């Protein structure tokens, strides 16, 4: 049943122009940024060749590309997740869905996986850009994998927050604004500590950007991976709990 709901949710995304428009805009922006980094590497290559132990092609192109993708997806995810439960509630179809012989866990995870399918498609399209360089250059496959993993964990966390906000908000616009606000807070949480030359272990651990950049650098730590897994599990559990409350009110 989970896969059925996920498949239905994934197909419904492409019935409206939003998914197609987002994919087109994302590819255009990221392709421009990718080609800009390639051009910068071509200009720096003569100087870098004379420096021992300097940055390579992968260091100059891959982390900036995936870092920019993370920022753009922070803006895009609220638009994709805002309708997940909110729209069902507004269209009066949530009561019908809750009355079906389907558990709340199936509904939440199914909708989560449906949106995540689109996110995975976006990551695949982004990954194809640096992979195209293999036709004439060498890439550090380990660093490329680390960046793919970092972006994958990031978008799964973004989607979990978006799903939760869609469960608790009464309107898709409110859900989108709430998701964006929470994501932005977690993104910049560690900035204030750095500006004051102080260190807060709590803020560092809660900062989603800090964990994302740690994995991006190639240092795949169990602390960073477990942070994302705990983060995702927590918000999915909260979403299920919110839907339980809706079922009790029906």
> Helix 104-131 crosses helix 17-49 at what angle (to 10 degrees)?
40
Its pTM stands at 0.90
Angle at CA 71, nearest 5°, toward 68 and 75? 135
Count CA within 13 A, CB hemisphere, residue 204: 8
**Residue 7 · residue 114 · CB < 8 Å:** yes
Residue 231 CA to residue 243 CA, distance in Å, equals: 19
What's the pLDDT at 42? Answer: 81
**Taking the alpha carbons of 161, 220, 150, 60 in that order, is the dihedral positive or negative?**
positive
Residues of the chain with pLDDT under 70: 46-55, 191-200, 249-250
Residue 203, pLDDT score? 78
pLDDT in tens, 22-47: 899 999 999 999 999 888 888 877 66
Q: What is the pLDDT of residue 116?
A: 94
């Amino acid at each position: 049943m989970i896969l059925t709901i996920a498949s239905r949710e994934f197909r419904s995304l492409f019935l409206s122009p939003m998914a197609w428009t987002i994919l087109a805009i994302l590819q255009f922006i990221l392709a421009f940024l990718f080609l800009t980094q390639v051009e910068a590497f071509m200009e720096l290559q003569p100087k870098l060749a004379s420096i021992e132990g300097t940055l390579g092609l992968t260091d100059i192109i891959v982390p900036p590309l995936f870092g920019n993708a993370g920022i753009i997806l922070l803006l895009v995810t609220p638009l994709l997740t805002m309708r997940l439960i909110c729209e069902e509630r507004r269209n009066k179809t949530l009561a019908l869905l809750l009355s079906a012989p389907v558990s709340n866990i199936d509904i939440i995870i199914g909708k989560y996986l449906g949106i995540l399918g689109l996110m995975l498609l976006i990551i695949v399209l982004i990954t194809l850009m640096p992979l195209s360089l293999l036709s004439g250059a060498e890439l550090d496959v380990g660093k490329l994998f680390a960046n793919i993993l970092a972006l994958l964990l990031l978008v799964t966390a973004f989607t979990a927050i978006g799903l939760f906000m869609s469960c608790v908000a009464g309107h898709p616009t409110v859900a989108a604004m709430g998701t964006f606000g929470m994501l932005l807070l977690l993104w910049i949480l560690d900035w204030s500590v750095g500006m004051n030359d102080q260190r807060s272990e709590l803020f560092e651990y809660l900062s989603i950007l800090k964990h994302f950049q740690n994995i991006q650098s190639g240092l795949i730590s169990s602390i960073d991976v477990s942070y994302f897994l705990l983060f995702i599990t927590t918000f999915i559990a909260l979403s299920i709990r919110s839907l339980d409350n809706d079922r009790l009110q029906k």
